Amino acid sequence: MNLRKNLIVLTVVLSGVLASLLFLNFQEFGKNQKAQILETDNKLSNLPVKISKGLVDYFNLNGSGKVIFYEKLDSMVYEASLDGKSKKELARIPGVSEVIFNPVSLEIIATIRDTDGLGKSYFNLENNQKIKLDQRIRNAAFSPDGANLAYFFYDENYNEGNISISKPDGSDFINIFKTRSKNLKILWPAKDLIVFYPETENSELSAFSIKPDGKEFKRLMESEYLAYSNQKPKEEILKNLGIEASNIKLDLLETHLVFINAKDGKLYSLKI
């Protein structure tokens, strides 16, 4: 009988000790969990602001400190403030597959499929001007100051291509480099530097540079090309927030990162 009584007492004591330990561990877990949440909240003091409602493939930051983008949902070109508080419709352009933005002014080159097939058109969004460019223009890029356009022009009748420079609307063009390549991608990363490379399925990359006057043609090392083509400023900030971005741009004052979220395809802005 005494043995049974002692076992009952021992069971009660052990249960009490176990309950106390569980309580203390739960309290400690609660403190650690709260500290972790507070630490995370401190890191996320500036949350990204969603700029677009729908998917965005193309955007750019202009000289006025705003972001311009083409939204697929309604085929609209928008201009928005970096804090996301204001958003203005600029032009509705259906059927767009690519947009190239002037880095300074409200001008774009849009690739559009219409009754004549796939072609590029120049749009001045300030005065609603539209000019259809020569259908043989395949790739283009604005100069850093927005004053000129570099493009690749291919004439199938003569099996001949040219890299040319013109005004943004295609006027006053000059040919600076002749080539037999059928398709070249054009970049204009610096005032006196145009970069181009063939668009092929080959893994081997052959990139070249030339000055806007057609001089100093040379082949680029892969590291040089990547420095011009694969710029993702302050990408580590987004990675620290667990955000994967497919395109990142830093505004001129370096106060905001604007990016396309790879998860949902929408445009966001983050104050840094």
| CATH number of the domain enclosing 118 | 2.130.10.120
Same domain, residue pair 56 and 4: no
How does the average pLDDT of the chain come out, rounded? 84
Same domain, residue pair 36 and 96: no
pTM attached to this predicted model: 0.79
List, for residues 93-144, the tens digit of each pLDDT value. Answer: 999 999 999 999 999 999 998 888 899 999 999 999 999 999 999 999 999 9
Same domain, residue pair 16 and 145: no
Same domain, residue pair 13 and 53: no
C-alpha–C-alpha distance, residues 256 and 83, integer Å? 9
Q: Which domain holds residue 23?
A: 1-45
- Measure CA 58 to chain center: 7
Lowest mean pLDDT among 7-11, 29-33, 68-72: 29-33
Which residue, 45, 60, 75, sits at the end of a domain? 45
C-alpha–C-alpha distance, residues 116 and 67, integer Å? 31
Tokens of 248: 């990142």
Same domain, residue pair 3 and 62: no
Same domain, residue pair 16 and 104: no
pLDDT (0 to 100) of residue 11: 52
List, for residues 38-86, the tens digit of each pLDDT value. Answer: 233 335 457 899 999 999 999 999 878 899 999 998 999 999 999 989 9
Q: How many structural domains are present in the chain?
A: 2
Same domain, residue pair 257 and 176: yes
Mean pLDDT, rounded, for 206-215: 94
Same domain, residue pair 62 and 143: yes
Percentage of residues of the chain with pLDDT beyond 90: 64
Q: Is 187's pLDDT higher than 90?
A: yes
Same domain, residue pair 23 and 79: no
Same domain, residue pair 38 and 101: no
DSSP annotation string for the chain: -HHHHHHHHHHHHHHHHHHHHHHHHHHHHHHHHHHHHHHHHHHTSS--EE--SS-EEEEEE-TTSEEEEEETTTTEEEEEETTSS-EEEEEE-TTEEEEEE-SSSSEEEEEEEETTEEEEEEEETTTTEEEEPPTTEEEEEE-TTSS-EEEEEEETTTTEEEEEEE-TTS-S-EEEEEE--S-EEEEEEETTEEEEEE--S-SS---EEE-TTS---EEPPHHHHHHHH---TTHHHHHHTT--EEEEEE-TTS-EEEEEETTT--EEEEE-
Same domain, residue pair 13 and 110: no
Same domain, residue pair 121 and 4: no
C-alpha–C-alpha distance, residues 110 and 139, integer Å? 11
